[in-house]
Amino acid sequence: MSDDDRGDASEADRAAPEASSGGRNGQQDVVRRERFSGGPARGFLSSLAADERIFAADLAVDRAHVVMLAEQGIVDAEDAAAILGALAEIERAGHGALPDGEDVHAAIETAVVDRVGDRGGRMHTARSRNDEVAACIRYRLRTDVLDAAEATVEAREVLADVAADHVETVMPGYTHLQPAQPTTVGHHLASYESALTRDTARLLDAYGRINRSPLGAAAFAGTPFDVDRERTADLLGFDGLVRNSMDAASARDFLVETTAAVAALATTLSGLAEDLVVGASAGHVEFDDDYASTSSIMPQKKNPDTMELVRATAGDAAAGLNGLLSTLKGLPRAYNRDLQRAHGHAFEAVDAVREATEVAAGAVATADWQVETLAAAAGEGFSTATGVADLLAAEGVPFRTAHEVVAAAAERGDDYEAVASAAADRLSEPLTAYVDREAVEAALDPAESVAARDSVGGPAPEAVAAALDDARDGIAADGDAVADRRAALSAAADDLATEVATYA
């Protein structure tokens, strides 16, 4: 089991408050740090560069911890003020100005000690980098997840808007990429709005488990100091604790569910992207120039590259999820350095997929649906055949028989005559005994065919319009859910700043 020994130096300082950096304890500390400086593996061991992502998070976590230590009388107000002052300077100087270190936590502590002397080492009292890094990852990731969730909400808005403009724009619907039944652009786009609703929900659900504080767990085994874990959780806007200290330091399943949610979102988007690529190829939709590229050799080309990259992002996200799970699988309790390579997968995936979501939404918002081409294509391949069979079944022909009649008609053509002659061969009565010619011709018309399918969730214009009304309620509610969480985080950040200011 790997211990984070950095806490010991601070405790040594606490036991001998007069010790200067030249004193016995200070010397031991320097000796220890030099011995374990990494040697040739220094760069390999260090996460400092990647930790830029959690620089601001670490400063917040440090501040909340120091405020709590002062409130609990573990560190006196003067030392707390000195440390908090140093943290403000370190924040202004930025991540790039940090001294060398194994990671951002060590580097910030060194920078604090450089500014205020050994008492800066009190900052690490009653904690370890193990609970610290877990808190930093959660602190940062929760905002990233809200950003991704917001991107899904905005994409849903775009999909609902464009769908509403096209509830009557008939288009071919496919199964197996073969013409199947006519539908509308509105119904098609609304299907992605519906799918993205679940992606938003998965992200918000993950948020609830990300936003828990591991602070106070120390290395994994708790601390003898009288820490107030609820207080640091509150100051950082966490909605509660990961209570068991061993679980708190070890748990990374919140990364798994975040990356899984993001990979699922990317998979949804990849389907939309593929449909748009295929649609562009068939001349059904044209992308705005901003979302297309040309060829370096073929001057006439307008390629849907943005959608191809959105499609590919699903592969990256799936790879990230796989990398993360493979890293975590079989790790023993409690902390293992493997964990340093875990959260990068989640951060990378959430960034890439959030961007892909925004790009996909932009492409949909600006694409030009080719209404006439779509109308002409909507009836291709006798795509209204099912509607004719439905009509016969509605007039008393057993559906299986109706299916056979229309299948036989399809061998002859896709018009009334074909249906009538197939019916004459298979049914005991002529077609007109069941249904009149007008009704059959209506069923053969793509727009009428769509209008007839007005079951809940179906493509008929009024069914899609009703679904879109409900969708808008869901979009607004999810937008509020994101905004509420952001407001809670910014209120906590304000409270923390107010508390910190009392030590100035």
Residue numbers annotated as active site: 176, 295
Q: Which residues contact 275 (CB under 8 A, 6 or more apart)?
A: 188
User: What are the residues whose beta carbons fall under 8 Å from the beta carbon of 208, sequence distance 6 or more?
Assistant: 239
First to last CA, the chain: 40
ω into 334 cis (within 30 of 0):
yes
For ligand ARG, the closer CB: 132 or 257: 132
**Shortest distance in whole angstroms from residue 101 CB to ligand ARG:** 10
Q: Which residues are CB-contacts of 40 (< 8 A; sequence separation ≥ 6)?
A: none
Residue 245 in the binding site for ligand ARG (CB under 6 A): no
Window 84-123: contact mask with ligand ARG (x via CB under 6 A): -------------------x-x------------------
Give the alpha-carbon dihedral of 23, 24, 25, 29, to 10 degrees.
90
Determine the interface stretch with ligand ARG among 307-315, 336-344, 415-423, 444-452 (rule: CB under 6 A). Answer: 336-344
Per rule CB under 6 A, count of chain residues that contact ligand ARG: 12
List the one residue from 4, 199, 257, 414 that touches ligand ARG (CB under 6 A): 4
Among the listed residues 139, 70, 133, the one whose alpha carbon sits nearest the alpha carbon of residue 102 = 133
Burial grade of 438 (CB within 10 A; 0-12, 13-18, 19 or more): exposed
Tell me how far, at minimum, the Cβ of 131 lies from ligand ARG, in Å: 9
* Sequence letter at residue 338: D
Nearer to ligand ARG by Cβ, of 219 and 241: the residue is 219
Q: How far apart are CA 31 and CA 37, in angstroms?
A: 10
Selected range binding ligand ARG among 141-149, 254-262, 337-345, 408-416, rule: CB under 6 A: 337-345
Residue 414 binds ligand ARG, judged by CB under 6 A: no
Rounded least distance, CB 29 to ligand ARG, Å? 16
Which tokens sit at 314? 């699903």
Footprint on residues 47-76 left by ligand ARG (CB under 6 A):
47
According to the binding rule CB under 6 A, does residue 183 interact with ligand ARG?
no
- Closest contact distance (angstroms) between CB of 140 and ligand ARG is 12
**How distant is the alpha carbon of residue 483 from its chain centre?**
16
Tokens of 393: 């079944």
Q: Is 131 in the site for ligand ARG (CB under 6 A)?
A: no
**Which stretch in 34-42, 83-91, 165-173, 333-341 sits in contact with ligand ARG by CB under 6 A?**
333-341
337 binds ligand ARG, rule: CB under 6 A: yes
By the rule CB under 6 A, 130 interacts with ligand ARG: yes
Residue 213 bridge partners (DSSP): 241
Residue number with CB closer to ligand ARG (129 or 140)? 129
- Counting Cα atoms < 13 Å in the Cβ hemisphere of 55 gives 18
Residue 90: partners with Cβ closer than 8 Å, 6 or more residues away:
59, 97, 98, 108, 111, 112, 115
- Beta strands 170-175 and 178-184 are antiparallel
The reply on whether position 156 binds ligand ARG by CB under 6 A is no
Q: How far is the CB of 479 from ligand ARG (least distance, A)?
A: 34
The answer to the question of residue 339 lying near ligand ARG (CB under 6 A) is: yes
CB count, 10 Å around CB of 275? 18
Sign of the C-alpha dihedral computed for residues 113, 117, 123 and 124 taken in this order? positive
Give CA–CA dist 436/310, Å, rounded.
Answer: 49
Q: Out of 57, 59, 83, 133, which residue is the one contacting ligand ARG (CB under 6 A)? A: 133
- Contact window for ligand ARG (CB under 6 A) among 17-25, 287-295, 335-343, 430-438: 335-343
| Binding string, residues 187-226; x marks residues near ligand ARG by CB under 6 A | ----------------------------------------
- How many Å apart are CA 244 and CA 248, to the nearest integer? 6
Tell me whether residue 4 or residue 358 sits nearer to ligand ARG (CB atom): 4
> Could you give phi then psi for residue 5, rounded to 5 degrees?
-85, 0
Q: Report the residue number, 119 or 252, with the smaller CB distance to ligand ARG.
A: 252
Least distance from ligand ARG to the Cβ atom of residue 260, Å = 21
- Residue 138 found at the interface with ligand ARG (CB under 6 A): no
Q: What are phi and psi of 178, to 5 degrees?
A: -100, 145
Contact residue for ligand ARG among 335, 347, 434, 503 (CB under 6 A): 335
Evaluate whether 272 touches 190 at the Cβ level (below 8 Å): no
> Which region among 20-28, 127-135, 235-243, 300-308 touches ligand ARG (by CB under 6 A)?
127-135
CA distance 8 to 36: 15
Binding site for ligand ARG (CB under 6 A): 2, 4, 47, 103, 105, 129-130, 133, 335, 337, 339-340
